[in-house]
A and B are shown apart, each in its own frame.
Chain A
Amino acid sequence: MDLDYTPSELMATAGARELQDGEVVAVGLGLPVVASFLAKLTHAPNMTILFELGVINPEPIHCGVGLADPRVWYRANVLSSFVDILGAILHKGLVDVGFLGGLETDQYGNLNTTLLGDPRAKFRHFVGSGGANDIASCARRTIIIIRHEERKLKKAVSFITSPGYITGGDSRAQAGLRGGPSRVITDKAIFGFHPETKQMMLLSIHPGNMLDDVLGTMGFTPIVPQHLPYTEPPTQEQLRLIREVIDPQRMYMG
Chain B
Amino acid sequence: MRKVTTLAEAVASIPSGAHVALSGFAITRCTMAFAREVIRQGIKGLTISQCVGAMDADLLVGAGAVDRLIYGGGSLDRFGRLACVNRGIEEGTLIAEEYSSLSITFRYLAGSLGLPFIPIRSLRGSDLMKRLQEHDASQIAMVNDPFTGEQWLALQPLLPDVAVVQVQTADEEGNAWIMGPKWDNTEQARASKRTIVIAERVVSGEVIRRDPERTVIPSLLVSHVVELPFAAHPTSVYREYDYDAGQIESYVEATRTPEAFRAYLDQYVYGVKDHWEYLERVGGMRHLNSLRADPILGY
Contact = CB atoms under 8 A, between A and B. Distances in A.
A83 B77 CA distance: 22
A134 B101 contact: yes
Interface in A127-159: 127-134, 137-138, 159
Nearest to B86: A125
Given A81-B181, A123-B90, A128-B74, A176 B101 contact: no
A65 B180 CA distance: 17
Contacts of B26: 66-68
Interface in B145-165: 151-153
A66 B293 CA distance: 18
Contacts of A126: 81, 86
A68 B184 contact: no
Interface string A65-80: 1111111011000011
A128 B98 contact: yes
A71 B299 contact: yes
B250 to A, nearest CB: 16
Contacts of B297: 62, 70-71, 74
Interface in B97-113: 98-103, 105-106, 109
Contact of B180 (A73, A113, A175): A73
Q: Which among B27, B54, B90, B128 has the highest number of chain A CB atoms within 10 Å?
A: B128
A162 interface: yes
Contacts of A91: 102, 120-122
A67 B131 CA distance: 27
Contact of A162 (B52, B53, B126): B126
Given A81-B181, A125-B86, A176 B151 contact: yes
A165 to B, nearest CB: 9
A51 B73 CA distance: 16
Interface residue SS majority, chain A = loop
Q: Which among B54, B105, B127 has the highest number of chain A CB atoms within 10 Å?
A: B127
B57 to A, nearest CB: 12
Interface in A37-57: 52-55
B169 interface: no
B171 interface: no
Contact of B78 (A53, A65, A132, A160): A65
B51 interface: yes
Interface residues of B, number: 60
Contacts of B27: 65-66, 68-69
A172 interface: yes
Given A130-B52, A130-B72, A83 B187 contact: yes
Contact of A129 (B121, B128, B181, B184): B128
B105 A86 contact: yes
Contacts of B181: 53-55, 73, 79-81
B71 interface: yes
Interface in B220-273: 235-236, 238, 242-243
Contact of B102 (A69, A70, A90): A90
A129 B98 contact: yes
Interface string B168-206: 000000000000111111110000000000000000000
A177 B124 CA distance: 7
A52 B186 contact: no
A9 to B, nearest CB: 20
Given A68-B28, A81-B182, A127-B81, A114 B102 contact: no
B298 interface: yes
B92 to A, nearest CB: 11
B106 to A, nearest CB: 7
Closest 7 CB pairs of A and B: A128-B73, A66-B77, A175-B125, A54-B181, A68-B26, A133-B100, A163-B125
Given A128-B72, A129-B72, A137-B122, 18 more contacts: A29-B77, A54-B182, A66-B77, A67-B26, A68-B77, A68-B236, A70-B242, A73-B181, A81-B181, A82-B102, A86-B101, A86-B102, A129-B99, A131-B72, A137-B125, A160-B127, A166-B125, A176-B153
6 contacts: A65-B79, A124-B90, A138-B121, A160-B125, A171-B125, A176-B153
